[in-house]
Amino acid sequence: MSEIGRCEKILFLVSQSLDRKLSFVESLSLRWHFFVCKRCRRERDSLIKMQQILRLYREDADRSTQSAEEMLSDETKERIKEVLRKKMEEKKIEEKEKKDGTTGL
């Protein structure tokens, strides 16, 4: 088998190793190949770094999708509700004044 074909097989195994546990023979093949092939070692390292970055991104995305209910204290939620109630009342008054043709002055 040519070295390029061997490297392709090794890189396939590297990819597989990110998703499943390799057999003893597969692991041994990888270790031996990495010992002699700098290019495949770099590719493996790049794939591992990419996997770590994606995992961090996914964990960060999971954290950021928490609802406001989960992230805010009860006191903060009540203050927000109160501000919204006041704004709704102000809006109702404005709409009534527009309808009646009067102003709050």
Residues 7 and 53 both lie in one domain: yes
Q: Is 44 or 4 the better-scoring residue by pLDDT? A: 44
pTM of the model: 0.49
Residues 46 and 86 both lie in one domain: no
Residues 20 and 53 both lie in one domain: yes
Report the domain count for the chain: 2
pLDDT at 73: 79
pLDDT at 69: 59
Checking if the pLDDT of 21 tops 70, the result is: yes
Residues 31 and 73 both lie in one domain: no
Residues 78 and 53 both lie in one domain: no
Q: Which domain holds residue 90?
A: 68-105
14 and 44 in contact (C-beta within 8 Å)? yes
Residue type, 95: E
The mean of the pLDDT values for the chain is 82
Residues 2 and 39 both lie in one domain: yes
40 and 33 in contact (C-beta within 8 Å)? yes
Residues 58 and 87 both lie in one domain: no
Highest mean pLDDT out of 35-49, 53-67, 70-84: 35-49
pLDDT band at 23 (very low <50, low <70, confident <90, very high): very high
Residues 87 and 105 both lie in one domain: yes
pLDDT tens string 62-72: 666 656 556 67
Label residues 43-54 b or e (16+ Cβ within 10 Å = b): bbeeeeeeeeee
